[in-house]
Structure 1
């Protein structure tokens, strides 16, 4: 990346010219000929001068120097590990606002697709956000467990597949990082030894007795070896670079005999540094300040590592200009940070409001489970809002998080106190339901359907009336109860299906018998005809019940009977009682207890009505018999007495019907 930026500084017309070989003759020590070849002054061989650490004569304010030192320290760290230079290519998200599921997915993508040191800061932020949410979840689950569990021997356990995935991806990242660092440490130590050896060779390079051409060649070889030496530990970075540049400058001073070649090199370096200054001036106007500051760090690295020294007359001026522009960029960055801090302060106020609302909910007294569910939903919504709110100032981050946890914990404690109070009721309900399960299992094989079915229905009604049981037992006992009930009613259904086939046969028989009954003729003998009708009734009964949907055939049978009774000239009472008896027996055979009960109530009301009517008529008679003409009963009195007799006869019929119905139910 640095090489690309360095190349970009060279415009099409600003490339270094290919200097023709120059011969500089001197007569010192005889006819010594010093040749400055093309390779001595090319860009790739340009000597490097350490200027990020200013020399004593540079007058740079302390604040500016602090900024430069910070940039130098960052570059030293990134030079130690080249992968650090790429970490800014991946945008840093506000991981605190993401859910646990999304955090795990982000971690997976970073670990699987990016270089380990490029995502180090991202992974640590994801870990911090995930563990905060996970630990909060564990605290809630543990409090719920303590509230519901009454067995002191049972320990809290909670397994999260999401946490397992997170641990898997984080372990992979940690293994990759350890492997990376092991390799890096070995290389750093070797590279440091190589660079120190190069510095020692530079010290010994100045030798008046040596051939200049050979010395220049050796000097260029040392620079090539230096550029290829690789990264060194960051704590040695500035010291080693300063030593190297010091001895490079000494060698340039030693080359005073080759002043013209040196000046050409100085001019090239000056052009390069002026282009860097021009680029920084443009960066000061850049809208994306973070991106511009990162490029500024790269330009500092290029200035220091890739471009050699300039002449002393320009050295202080361009360095001070470069430093001043760096200060401007830093000031713009500080303004941005202040703006971000303002946003963080706004987030802090929002989170304080959320915490305050949770604290209020932790004091509102709620007395019903449904209401508590609504309270829990409110806290969950506030909890999600807290996590969705962005970062707060780092100095209050821990305190804010602590306040949030305390508020939620207080709410959970308050909630759990309610459920502890109803825990005893739930255990009592559990005992009741266990008893019903046992009863249902006991009856599930019963074949006495007439007696067992009402009991099973009653058991189901009792189950509905019993309240909640502890959640960990709820599904288990419901499954057992449901299986027992289903088993019994499945058998009842099978039995009814068998009975239905008998009822269909009974209907067919009765349908055929109706034709026989329609052809029946009375003989004229009262007793013989009455016995024949009773035999028909008995035969009809013996056919049994018919399907409910086909019970209309009973009405047809009753119509034929009514016609026969009319022809038989029975008394009204006898006819009425025979019809009533036949109808009641049909209801009894169909087990229609509801209609039988309704009939009983009807009869009792009719008896009461007739008795009241008789009582009123008898009172009226008393009025007329107490008059002067009591011996001579008039037509009104005779009519009243006749009505009384009719009502008494009717009362006897109603009483006989009620007696017959009671005898029928007793049987």
Structure 2
């Protein structure tokens, strides 16, 4: 990967790179030449990616309710990264030392060459003698190598001056001078063409680096014919200016983008800081807070680098704000876990009491005790989800066993039930024959029917089926609304429960409560979703109307459920 492409690598690609892949790229970069910028970027990317992985681990620990205070994790790739960077640093130090020695050596050689050029220019020797010597010194100048940048400018300026003096003022033959001018013109024209070609390259950073090399070559060349010098230089300079302008604009644009990124990241820091989490005390609230933080973190990942001087600082600020929230969440989960454990112990104690009481035949006394145990159960808070059903099943099984035994002991009224069967059949005939248009009259017959006691078990289902059939016909005739129908039929169902079986009624009540809670949750969710719909949109109106219709049906069902639960509670209390 070249430096320019790396600098412009999208955040999405960064996200896809694993730590091992980043280390591999870094190793390749350290083995190449002139890759310092790429190496620095890869190092920064590694630690940014590593921190993202650590953040994910912290979040996972927090959500699982585990302690995060002493969390420490080391990636083996970091040790390899440090080893590669240490080797690169040592290699770089050696290269710099050798480079400085070579620069000093080249500087000394070129100073000697300049002195020799000066002497040749000032000498009175013939052109035939001095010209080959100057050409030899030109070659030695090229072979001497590079000098330190801070010494190069003055040195090459003096060299160019001597060369021009030699060609302009030394009395040499036109033939030799023109030949040298021609060769220099060919090379400098080729350099102009090379720069003009570079100006069309998409890789600005690569083009800029190559341009510096071409300028160094230009400075090392001798002059061309005086009348061509300005035109040739202007051609070379114009093409160079295009590259320099593009390069400057790219880095200026990069600077502007980084400043914009800093502003965006500052906004995200403020958004995290504004999240009110200190009073959060429910799973639902913490889930909402977590979702918001994760949303902000995802937005952060989509933003590129901020300016180098501020990049680390703004990241640390954002990370600390997120970590503070997740630490508070971890503490909440820890406290909830402790409370849940305490609640579990309390519920286990109630289970033991219920199990010890379930075989009692002191019906009145034991019933009162079971009622108290059930009331106490309601005052205890929730336990862990994974044991919630288990502990509840244990408790309700003991309760049901007692009440089932109580019902069995108290069921011996067969004759009364046979008589009740005949009474209900007579009332059912009245309901079937009812021809008035008053619903109140029908309700009176329904009440009369429900007031009659239980019927034999074997006749119960058949009678209830006929009861529903007759009632539905009357409901259709009188156009009774759906809520009233459901309640009337449910009343019949409750009254039809054999011996007012408290266990059966209790199970039905618990089932309806769970149904009511689920329905309430669905209603809340639907109302929240409706709040996000743009009611000004034409497309939203049909959707809103449909959702409103569903919501109305759900609220009607919610009302029916509440009335059914109340009816069950009344019957349970009367049966005890």
Which residue pairs with 2:85 in the alignment? Answer: 170
User: Residue 391 of structure 1: SS of its match in structure 2?
Assistant: coil
For CA contacts below 8 A with separation 6 or more, give which structure has more relative contact order. 1
Give distance in 2, aligned partners of 1:241 and 1:116: 29
Is the 8 Å Cα contact of residues 358 and 408 (structure 1) preserved in structure 2? yes
Superposition pairs of residues 100-499 of structure 1, within 5 angstroms: 102=18, 104-112=20-28, 115-134=31-50, 157-206=72-121, 208=123, 212-253=127-168, 255-277=170-192, 280=195, 292-305=207-220, 307-337=221-251, 340=254, 343-344=257-258, 347-348=261-262, 350-352=264-266, 354-363=268-277, 365-369=279-283, 372=286, 375-392=289-306, 397=311, 400-419=314-333, 421-422=335-336, 424-425=338-339, 467=383
Q: Go from structure 1 to structure 2 and tell me whether the alpha carbon gap of 1:297 and 1:167 turns closer, same or farther (over 3 Å shift).
A: same
Which residue pairs with 1:82 in the alignment? Answer: none
Give distance in 1, aligned partners of 2:193 and 2:151: 31
Structure with the larger helix share: 2
User: Residue 184 of structure 2: SS of its match in structure 1?
Assistant: helix
1:401 Cα offset (Å) = 3.0
CA deviation string 1:90-109 (max 9, x = no partner): 75443766249535413323
Give distance in 2, aligned partners of 1:599 and 1:140: 52
Q: Go from structure 1 to structure 2 and tell me whether the alpha carbon gap of 1:326 and 1:212 turns closer, same or farther (over 3 Å shift).
A: closer
Q: Go from structure 1 to structure 2 and tell me whether the alpha carbon gap of 1:258 and 1:134 turns closer, same or farther (over 3 Å shift).
A: same
- Bigger radius of gyration among the two: 1
Give distance in 2, aligned partners of 1:400 and 1:236: 40
Q: Go from structure 1 to structure 2 and tell me whether the alpha carbon gap of 1:174 and 1:349 turns closer, same or farther (over 3 Å shift).
A: same
Is the 8 Å Cα contact of residues 95 and 103 (structure 1) preserved in structure 2? no
Give distance in 2, aligned partners of 1:606 and 1:280: 108
Which residue pairs with 2:410 in the alignment? Answer: 605
Q: Go from structure 1 to structure 2 and tell me whether the alpha carbon gap of 1:396 and 1:169 turns closer, same or farther (over 3 Å shift).
A: closer
TM-score (norm 2): 0.51
Give distance in 1, aligned partners of 2:384 and 2:406: 40
Which ranges in structure 1 are unaligned for 5 or more consecutive residues?
1-85, 433-464, 479-592, 614-667
TM-score (norm 1): 0.45
Give distance in 2, aligned partners of 1:134 and 1:215: 67
Q: Go from structure 1 to structure 2 and tell me whether the alpha carbon gap of 1:405 and 1:250 turns closer, same or farther (over 3 Å shift).
A: same
Give distance in 2, aligned partners of 1:159 and 1:430: 37
Give distance in 2, aligned partners of 1:216 and 1:167: 57
User: Residue 219 of structure 2: SS of its match in structure 1?
Assistant: helix
Give distance in 2, aligned partners of 1:328 and 1:89: 18
1:381 Cα offset (Å) = 4.5
1:366 Cα offset (Å) = 3.5
Which ranges in structure 2 are unaligned for 5 or more consecutive residues?
347-380, 388-397, 419-576
CA deviation string 1:25-54 (max 9, x = no partner): xxxxxxxxxxxxxxxxxxxxxxxxxxxxxx
Give distance in 2, aligned partners of 1:208 and 1:162: 67
Give distance in 2, aligned partners of 1:603 and 1:428: 37
How many residues are treated as equivalent by the alignment? 372
